[in-house]
Structure 1
C-alpha cells in the first residue's frame, strides 16, 4: 500500500517533496545542497578550460553534482543536457571554431544553450523559458527527480530492514526488507492469508521498541530479539537508531549467528572453567599483554596468593614477585639477576620450552611448565610433585641399599629381567666374569651364558641351560670348572614374574661331576 502510494507521489515535483519527507533526511547522505530557484530571465552558466570546469553558477554546479564520472566535466554536462537538444553536444561544440558562437534550442523549444569562446575559455549558458515552466529550473527538477529515484531505490532494495518513526513513535515509512520481516513475524506458516500473492501488509506497530531519550543527531545501537514459536531460537538484531527532527531513523542487522557464536564461546569457557576447577594442577593463563585472565582453585591452593589480588588481573612479573615474597620461588642471588630470570622465563614459556622444578624451603617441590597459547597468550602449569620426588628418592635409596648388600656377598650374583636383560649384579660377579664397572651395556642372558660357556670347560649343563624354557620353575644347579682352574658351583633360580637369578660360588673342594638338579 505505501509502496504504491510512493510511486504515485513520485510523478512530479510535488511527488519529490512528499517522498523526500517520507524518506526522512536521505538528502543528508548525498551532500546535496538545496537548489535555488531561478528568477525570471535567470541563466545557468558554465565556464570550461580544456574540458575542465573552472567556474559555474550555484545552479550549474547543482546540475553536475552526483552525476556519474566521465572523461571530463564537459562530458558530464553533455550527458545531462545533450538528450534534450537531440544531438551529441561535444560534436556540435566543434563548430565553434568556425562560427565563434553556437546557439542550440531544445526539442520542446523551452530551453536554449548558448556556447562561445573567450580567451581560450568555453562559456556555456543554459536558459529556460520561465513563462512555460514557472519559477523552478526544469533541469534542476529533473536532476532532483533522478536523485530521488536513486535514493528511493537504495533504501527500498537494501537487504537490511530500514524504517522511520514519527514523534509519536508510530511507523511512518519502511522498506521492503522491513515489511517482509514484519510479515514473517506476524503470519504463521500455515496462515492462508500468506497466500495473497506474496503482498506485504503494513504493520500495525513497529517490530522493535524505539529507544527512549534519544537526542537530535544521536546514534544509538541496541541488541534486540524478535519472539519465535515455541521450540525455536529467537532471532537477534543489532538495531541502530538516529534521531532526525521530530522522528527517528532505524536500521536492523541480523546478528543471530554472532549471538550464537558468543553463546557457544561462553558455554565453552564455562565448561573449561568447571574442568579446570576439578584439576589438582594449578593453572594460570596470561593474555598477550601478560595479564592474568584465568586461574583455577588449585593455583590458589598451591601458591597461597589472595583471590582478590589474582582477580585484579596482575601482570606476570607482579605475580612472580608475590610468589618470591611468599617463598614459592627459588631465592635468586640478587634482585637484578631475578629480573633477568623472569624475562628469560617469560620468553621460554612463550616458546613452549620452559619446564623446571622449584624446590621450596619447606621441602615441597613444584614442577612449573610454560606453554604458549593462541594470540600470544601464555599458560603456566603448577604441579606438586613432592610425593613423586620422594617416592623416586626412596626407590633409589632402596636400590642402592640392595646393591650394597649384594656387593657384601662373596657369591657372584646376577639378576635378569623376564625379557633376559641383565638388570642387577654385584662386584663379585663383575670380578668373576670381567664386567667393567659403570658399563652402559646392561647385557643379555644369552650373551652372558655364552661368556660363561667360553670361560668354562665343556659340560652337559650348557645344553640344559639353552633348552630351559622361560616358564620352567625348577632351579638348575651344577658344578663348573673355569678354564683358569677354579671350581664353581652355579645355581639358577626362576624369580616371580619370570625373571632369573644366577648365583656362582667358588668351591675348591668340589670336583667336576655330572649335572645335578636341586631337590
Structure 2
C-alpha cells in the first residue's frame, strides 16, 4: 500500500496538532482578563544588601522601594515597613550570625520571608503564599499587605489627630477633611441653626453646613513662609452665642494642584499674649507717671524701655533713646552733658562704669551722684530676668538740701549748748541719749566711743560713780524711762568730794527729757544724812522736789 495518498492527510493532522498545542500553551500563559501571567520568579521582591547598603534588587523590589520615603537607609525603611507584618524583624536581622538561610512566617499566613546570609551579604526574598494581590505585575502580596498596613496607620493618624486637617483641590473646593474638622463644622452649623430647626432632616440640615461638603470654617488671610515648604497664618473663628473667639494657627502645604491645611488651636496662647500686652501697657502707663527715671537694658545691654522721667532727668534726646543705644553709649552721653560725677581721669571712669554694670547684675549697685551743677541723683542698679538690668535715677537734691539744713541746725544747736556752763544731756522718750554739750563731758567724762547709742541706765551708772550714795539718780532713771505725765523739777545731789550739784529735769516735746547739772557756787564739802538717804533726817533747805511722772 502506497503512502502517497495519505501524505496530505498526515500533514494536516500534524499541523492541527501543533496548532492546538500552541493554543493550549498560549491560553495557559494568559492571565484572567487577557493579561500575561509572569513566571513566579518575576513576582518575587528580592533585595540584596551589603551591610546597610542596597547593591541589587528585582524590579518589583525597586518599585516597592520607590514608594518609601523618610530618613535613614533603604534597609532601615524596608525593615520599618515590614516590621508590622513580620514582628521583631529588626531584632532578628541584628542577631544574624554566620552563613545560612532562615525563614520567617508572615502574620496572617499570607507568605514568608527568606533570609540568606553569607560573607556579610544579606538577601531578603518576599515569598507570597496566600491569595494574590490585585495587581501582581506591580507588587507582590506581602509588599501589598505591608503598604496596606502603612496606609491604614496613616489614615488612623489623620482621622484621629486633634488638629484640624483638610484638603482643598485645584478648584478651591473641600475634597477631604478629618474627623476633628467635621466635628467642629457640625458644631458651628448647629450653633448657627435656629432652635426650631433642630429636629429637621439631613437635607434641611445640609443647608446649615451639615451635608457634604461642610461649610468652610476659616477665611484664611495672608500666609507667611513657615519652614522650608509650609506657609502659616493666624485666624480667628467666631463662636455663635459666645463673646470669645477661638484662634487657630493654620499651616498650608502645597501638594501638586492641591493644598493640605493643618489648624492648631492657639486660643490660650493668644489670650496669654493679649494679657501680657495689656500688662505691659499698664506698666508703661505706670512708669510714665513715676517721678523716678527708669531705664532697662536687655541682655545685650541695649536700651529697650525708658520712661519720660528718665528723659527729663538726663536731658538725653528722644531720638537717641529710641535708637536703642548701648549702656556704655548712654553713660558716655551722660558724661558729655556733665550728668555723671567727674572722675580724676577717664581710664578710671571707664573701670568704674564696668564695675557699675557688674554690680547692677548682682543687684548691689546703689550710689549717690553729686553732679557739677549742684544736683544730686541716687542711682540704683537692679537685675531683671533673662539677663536684663534696670537703672533707677532719682533726683534727691531737695532731700539732700533739707538734710543739710537740718544738720546745720543741729550743729548750731550743739554750738549753743556748748557755750552754756550747765552740763546738759537730752534723752529720747525711749531713754536713749540724743545729744549733750561739752560741759557734760567735762563733768561726767566722754562717753564710750564704741557705743553707738547710750541709754539712761548706762548714764546713771556713770553718774553714780562720781556721786555720793543717794536715791536721786534712781528716781531720774525711772523718770526718764517711765511713761505717763512728767513735769519739771529739781534734785539735790552731792559729789563724792562733798561738792553739791543741782540737777534739773525738764520735759521736751515728743516725750524727750532734758537733764542739766549745775555745781553749787562757793560751797565747801559737806555731806548730810539727807543726801546719804539716812532715815528720819531731812534737809530743811532742800527745795520741794517735783516728782510727777
TM over 0.5: same fold? Answer: yes
Larger RCO (alpha carbons 8 Å, 6+ apart): 1
| Equivalent position of 1:495 in the other structure | 508
Question: Does structure 2 retain, via aligned residues, the 8 Å contact 1:161–1:252?
Answer: yes
Q: Equivalents in 1 of 2:104, 2:447: separation in Å?
A: 106
Alignment partner of 2:514: what SS? strand
Distance 1:146 1:211, change over 3 A: farther
Partners in 1 of 2:383 and 2:371 — Cα distance?
A: 25
1:193-245 CA-partner distances (Å, limit 9, x unpaired): 5999xx97434432112567999x95210000111134431010000112222
Residues 1:39 and 1:484: Cα distance change in structure 2 (over 3 Å): farther
The residue number in structure 1 matching 2:371 is 360
Structure 1 stretch 454-463 or stretch 471-480: which is displaced more? 454-463
Aligned equivalents of 1:218 and 1:61: distance in 2?
28
Does residue 44 in structure 1 map to residue 32 in structure 2?
Answer: no
Counterparts in 2 of 1:193 and 1:332: CA distance versus 1, 3 Å:
farther
Contact 2:293–2:310 under 8 Å retained in 1: yes
TM-superposed deviation, 1:287: 1.0
Is 1:236–1:256's contact at 8 Å kept on the other side of the alignment?
yes
What is the aligned partner in structure 2 of residue 192 from structure 1? 198
- Aligned partner of 1:202 among 203, 208, 212: 212
Give the Cα–Cα distance (whole angstroms) in 2 for the partners of residues 57 and 172 of structure 1: 37
Residues 46 and 57, structure 1, Cα contact 8 Å, conserved in 2: yes
Q: Which residue of 1 aligns with 2:543?
A: 516
CA distance in 1, matches of 2:216, 2:237: 11
Measure the CA separation in 1 of the matches of 2:312 and 2:522. 69
Contact 2:369–2:377 (Cα < 8 Å) also in 1: yes
Aligned residue runs from structure 1 range 95-114, under 5 A: none
Preserved contact between residue 231 and residue 251 of structure 2 (Cα < 8 Å): yes
Alignment of structure 1 residues 173-192 onto 2, 5 Å: 173-188=176-191, 192=198
- SS of alignment partner, residue 371 of structure 1: strand
Give 5+ residue unaligned stretches, structure 2. Answer: 1-34, 66-77, 84-88, 527-538
User: Cα distance, 1:359 vs. partner?
Assistant: 0.9
- Aligned-partner Cα distance in 1 for 2:162–2:216: 18
Post-superposition Cα deviations, 1:236-292, rounded to whole Å, max 9, x if no partner, equal 000011222222111100101110111111111111111111111111111111111
Contact 2:463 2:473 (8 Å CA) reproduced:
no
The CA deviation string for residues 359-415 of structure 1, in whole angstroms up to 9 with x for no partner, is 111110111111111111101111111111111111111111111111111111111
Closer, same or farther in 2 for the Cα pair 1:39/1:251, shift >3 Å?
A: farther
Q: Secondary structure at the match of 1:328?
A: coil
State the aligned residue count.
Answer: 456
Within-5 A mapping of 1:278-317: 278-317=289-328
Residues 179 and 203, structure 1, Cα contact 8 Å, conserved in 2 = no
The answer to whether structure 1 residue 221 and structure 2 residue 232 are counterparts is yes
- 1:145-195 Cα offsets, whole Å, 9 max, x none, are 343323322222222111111223211111111101111222129673599
Within 5 Å, give how 1:41-80 maps onto structure 2: 41=39, 42-44=42-44, 46=46, 48=48, 54-63=55-64, 65=78, 66-68=81-83, 70=90, 71-72=92-93, 78=104
Contact 1:355 1:367 in 2 (8 A): yes
TM-score of the pair, normalised by structure 2: 0.72
- Give the 4+ runs in structure 1 shifted more than 6 A: 49-53, 73-77, 115-121, 127-132, 212-215
Larger CA deviation: 414-423 vs 59-68: 59-68
Paired residues of 1:371 and 1:379 also in contact (CA < 8 A): yes
1:249 aligns with 2:260: yes
Q: Which SS does the other structure have where 1:150 is aligned?
A: helix
> What is the alpha-carbon root mean square deviation over aligned residues?
4.0
1:495-519, Cα deviation, whole Å (9 max, x unpaired): 1222211122222246875431379
Shift of the alpha carbon at 1:444? 2.5
Aligned mate of 1:403, from 411, 414, 430: 414
Q: Is the 8 Å Cα contact of residues 38 and 135 (structure 1) preserved in structure 2?
A: no
| SS of residue matched to 2:82 | coil
Superposed displacement of residue 481, structure 1: 2.8
Structure 2 CA distance for aligned equivalents of residues 145 and 179 of structure 1: 25
How is 1:21-40 mapped onto 2 (pairs within 5 angstroms)? 40=38
Shift of the 447–211 alpha-carbon distance from structure 1 to 2, 3 Å rule, reads closer
Residues 282, 295 of structure 1: 8 Å contact kept = yes
2:154 aligned residue:
151
Distance 1:272 1:358 in 2: 27
CA distance in 2, matches of 1:480, 1:325: 67
- Quote the offset at 1:308 in angstroms: 1.4
Contact 2:166 2:178 in 1 (8 A): yes
1:185, 1:156 → 2: CA distance? 19
Change (3 A) 1:472 1:454: farther
Distance 1:125 1:219, change over 3 A: closer
Are the equivalent residues in 1 in contact too, given 2:191–2:241 (CA < 8 A)? Answer: no
Task: Summarize the Cα distance change of 1:472–1:434 in structure 2 as closer, same or farther, 3 Å threshold.
Answer: same
Distance 1:77 1:432 in 2: 117
Once residues 497 and 222 of structure 1 are traced to their aligned partners in structure 2, the CA distance between those partners, rounded to angstroms, is 71
SS in 1 for 2:510: coil
**Residue 147 of structure 1 aligns to a residue in which SS?**
helix
Separation in 2 of the partners of 1:482 and 1:61?
A: 122
Question: Which ranges of structure 1 fall in alignment gaps of 5 or more residues?
Answer: 1-36, 94-114
Task: Give the C-alpha shift of residue 446 in structure 1.
Answer: 3.5
Cα 1:49–1:476 change in 2 (3 A) is: closer
Residue 332 of structure 1 corresponds to 343
Q: Are the aligned partners of 1:116 and 1:123 in contact in 2 as well (CA < 8 Å)?
A: no
Q: Which residue of 1 aligns with 2:166?
A: 163
The higher radius of gyration belongs to: 2
State how far apart, in whole Å, the 2-side matches of 1:448 and 1:364 are: 42
Q: Is the CA contact (8 Å cut-off) linking 1:476 and 1:491 kept in structure 2?
A: yes
Matches within 5 A, 1:433-472: 433-436=444-447, 438=449, 440=451, 442-458=453-469, 461=472, 465=476, 468=479, 470-472=483-485
CA 1:77–1:272 in 2, change beyond 3 Å: closer, same or farther? farther
